[in-house]
Amino acid sequence: MKSLKSFSHLFLILLSSSVFSQVQRSRLVTLMGSKFEITLVDKDSLSAEKNIDKSVSEIRRIENLISEWNPETQISEVNRNAGIKPVKVDAEVFALTEKGIYFSQLTDGAFDISIVAMDKIWKFDDSMNELPSEESIRNSVKNVGYQNIILDKSNSTIFLKNKGMKIGFGSIGKGYAADKTRELMKSFGVKAGIINASGDISTWGTQPDGTPWAIGINNPFRDDTIAAVLYLKENAVTTSGSYEKYAEINGKRYSHIMNPKTGYPSTGLTSVTVVGSNATMANGFSTSIMVLGRKKGLKLIKKFPDYQYLLITDAGKIIKKLTE
């Protein structure tokens, strides 16, 4: 018997494990401000539950390093010292910041971890009926700019050049946590599992009957259908989308995913799904493509043939290169 478990953009299609020698256990928890579902295939129930506990601890460990909302984290310390002094951070935090800047350079600033400093002048709760003024939009990005994130690898420090700057990892942090948890579970000998960080997914191994993990991608324009089904083993898949959180003004849809260069929301694409070896990279690509739009986004992802994609435009057109 099959059960269907849904998150905002993706469906996990899980097969009951009761008839197989291995057990499959799942737990839904709130971490990093989002819903995580941890599913492990393990030798017995006790081992599975203990390993789920370890997975939760790993995600909390990452949250306590990179959350910009928790004042005790290293990233909060970096943000407090913007325009004042460099802050020494762990190698892991430094490397994730490097990854963020890599995507900024790759996309000419369409992806930017300093976007968290952007003034919140757009509302995506159905309360907006006209565009903000051009002046307020220009001013909203005055503290955004990856070029002003200064990294010193020899001292493992991060310095935000201008006062008022902030960095955060809402764009790739959950995907990174999913990847690190997968890595940890594999090191403990857990043969298979799926870490679903609110739709940013890392998988390994197979379901107890030997079949791959099945991931369904939502079609936002047809509630009764899915756009594609992916069959994954050692893979990751992420989706960035605007169809649950957006503003519609004068008949045009504006996504909650913002363009850090212009201060305007992204338009043209309703959702972007990217499949690859790890969720951190897939997350970076899916967010970047939403901002870049269809033409520039496709030009970018086609430079990375190991990554597959499915784009759904605001008009409902599906553009894909997927192995289903």
C-alpha closest to that of 280 among 190, 195, 219: 195
Helices and strands, number each (H, E), in the chain: 7, 17
pLDDT at residue 223 in the model: 76
- CA 238 → CA 204, 215, 323, distances in Å? 15, 11, 15
pLDDT at residue 14 in the model: 57
Binding residues for Mg(2+) are 171, 287
Residue 137, phi then psi, degrees to nearest 5: -70, -45
- Identify which has the larger pLDDT, 67 or 225: 67
pTM of this prediction?
0.90
Q: Note the pLDDT tens digit of each residue in 75-129.
A: 999 999 999 999 999 999 999 999 999 999 999 999 999 999 999 899 888 888 8
Q: Note the pLDDT tens digit of each residue in 146-169.
A: 999 999 999 999 999 999 999 999
Residue 255 clears pLDDT 90, i.e. is over it? no
Query: Which pLDDT band holds residue 5 (cuts at 50, 70, 90)?
Result: very low
Question: Read out DSSP for 2-42?
Answer: EEEEE-SSEEEEEE--TTSSSEEEEEEEEETTEEEEEEEEE
Q: Which residues, 6+ apart, have CB-to-CB distance to 60 below 8 Å?
A: 31
| 196, two tokens | 């679903």
Q: From the centroid of its chain, how far is CA 176? A: 8
pLDDT at residue 272 in the model: 96
pLDDT at residue 13 in the model: 61
Residue 173 class from Cβ within 10 Å (0-12 exposed, 13-18 middle, 19+ buried)? buried
- CA 111 → CA 14, 16, 78, 261, 309, distances in Å? 34, 40, 20, 9, 18
d(CA 98, CA 121): 29
Residue 46, phi then psi, degrees to nearest 5: -60, -45
Residue 176, phi then psi, degrees to nearest 5: -65, -45
d(CA 2, CA 13): 7
Share of the chain above pLDDT 70, in %: 93
Q: Note the pLDDT tens digit of each residue in 169-203.
A: 998 999 999 999 999 999 999 999 999 999 899 99
Binding residues are 171, 287
CB atoms within 10 A of CB 251: 5
Which residue type, as a one-letter code, is found at position 216? G
Residue 149 class from Cβ within 10 Å (0-12 exposed, 13-18 middle, 19+ buried)? buried
Q: Where are the beta strands (DSSP E) in the chain?
A: 2-6, 10-15, 23-31, 34-42, 87-88, 149-152, 157-160, 192-197, 200-204, 213-218, 226-232, 235-241, 246-249, 252-255, 269-276, 308-313, 318-321
Domains of the chain: 2-65+172-321 (3.10.520.10), 74-160 (1.10.3980.10)
